[in-house]
């Protein structure tokens, strides 16, 4: 079955960077893109951006431009999201989700990765 | 950026009742590019509806979506105990994708 499995929880200090991985299985990895969405504790969903696995094209949300980098490794069917210059308000669960194009719905989602930013 | 406003914020209903959730967009959505997701505590969101009215694989037919332009509705007929959750709408018709703030469907 189609599945996205994310890396484990992270604790980072303010100013540091975090890199979350998302390993795909059960479908043609290069036939879809990957979007990243985050959810702060008790809050709603915030789209961060999308990457085409086929050609590496990206579309980052304005709120994250300059601070986020999304990449993929087709040899391992894994997508990565790196967020730099972390602040306390970056504490959230980060999800990856399969999305056929940059303008598409998300299905399925990874299980989420909790990133805690604290001094 | 297209803003999605969901109402009500919380819906208190009993099992077996019908739930009607609203999602209003700040501008008309291209080709009804709107999706609905269900999220239960501690879980990732799950796709219910895409293209405003298309039901995702494995989703029971008590879930239905409708609407176009700026006004969209998710209807859940005959609520089952497992349907009590938070529901989000999402638009994907612009280059900047956005979500509504969510509607919580709780047991009355």
Q: Is the confidence at residue B40, as pLDDT, over 90?
A: yes
Q: Per residue in A30-39, pLDDT tens?
A: 999 999 999 9
**Closest by Cβ to A105, choosing from B1, B35, B96:** B35
The pLDDT, as a whole number, for residue B54 is: 97
Return the percentage of chain A with pLDDT > 90, whole number.
97
Q: What is the mean pLDDT of residues A6-10?
A: 98
DSSP assignment of B41-99 equals TTS--EEEEETTTEEPTT--TTEEEEEETTEEEEEESS--GGG-SEEEEEE-SSSS-EE
The pLDDT, as a whole number, for residue B31 is: 80
Q: Per residue in B60-92, pLDDT tens?
A: 999 999 999 999 999 999 999 999 999 999 999
Return the percentage of chain B with pLDDT > 70, whole number.
100
Which distant-in-sequence residues (6+ apart) come within 8 Å of A2 by Cβ? A24, A25, A26, A27, A98, A108
The answer to whether residue A91 neighbours chain B at the CB level (below 8 Å) is no
| Chain B residue with Cα closest to A44 | B101
Residues of A in contact with B74 (CB under 8 A): none
The pLDDT, as a whole number, for residue A102 is: 83
| Residue B90 to residue A112, Cβ atoms within 8 A | no
Q: Is the confidence at residue B19, as pLDDT, over 90?
A: yes
Parallel, antiparallel, or unpaired for β A58-60 and A68-73?
A: unpaired
Q: Which carries the bigger pLDDT value, residue B19 or residue B93? A: B19
The pLDDT, as a whole number, for residue A101 is: 87
Q: Is the confidence at residue B30, as pLDDT, over 90?
A: no
The pLDDT, as a whole number, for residue A118 is: 97
Task: Tell me the pLDDT band of B7, cut-offs 50, 70 and 90.
Answer: very high
How far away is chain B from the Cα of A42, in angstroms, using its nearest Cα?
10
């Amino acid at each position: 079955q189609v599945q996205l499995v994310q890396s484990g929880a992270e604790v980072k200090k303010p100013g540091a960077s975090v890199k979350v991985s998302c390993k795909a299985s059960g479908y043609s990895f290069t036939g879809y893109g990957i979007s990243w969405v985050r959810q702060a504790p008790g809050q709603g969903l915030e789209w961060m951006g999308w990457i085409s696995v086929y050609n590496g094209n990206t579309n980052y949300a304005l709120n994250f431009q300059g601070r986020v980098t999304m990449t993929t490794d087709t040899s391992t069917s894994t997508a990565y999201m790196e967020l730099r210059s972390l602040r306390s308000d970056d504490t959230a669960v980060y999800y990856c989700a399969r999305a056929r194009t940059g303008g598409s719905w998300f299905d399925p989602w990874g299980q989420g990765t909790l990133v805690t930013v604290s001094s | 950026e297209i803003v999605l406003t969901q109402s009500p914020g919380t819906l208190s209903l009993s099992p077996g009742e019908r739930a009607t959730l609203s999602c209003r967009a700040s501008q008309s959505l291209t080709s009804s590019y709107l999706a609905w997701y269900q999220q239960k505590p501690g879980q990732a969101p799950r796709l219910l509806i895409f293209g405003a009215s298309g039901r995702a694989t494995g989703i029971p037919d008590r879930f239905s979506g409708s609407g176009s332009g700026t006004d969209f509705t998710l209807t859940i007929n005959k609520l089952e105990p497992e349907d009590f959750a938070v529901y989000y709408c999402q638009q994907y018709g612009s280059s900047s994708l956005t979500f509504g703030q969510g509607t919580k469907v709780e047991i009355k």
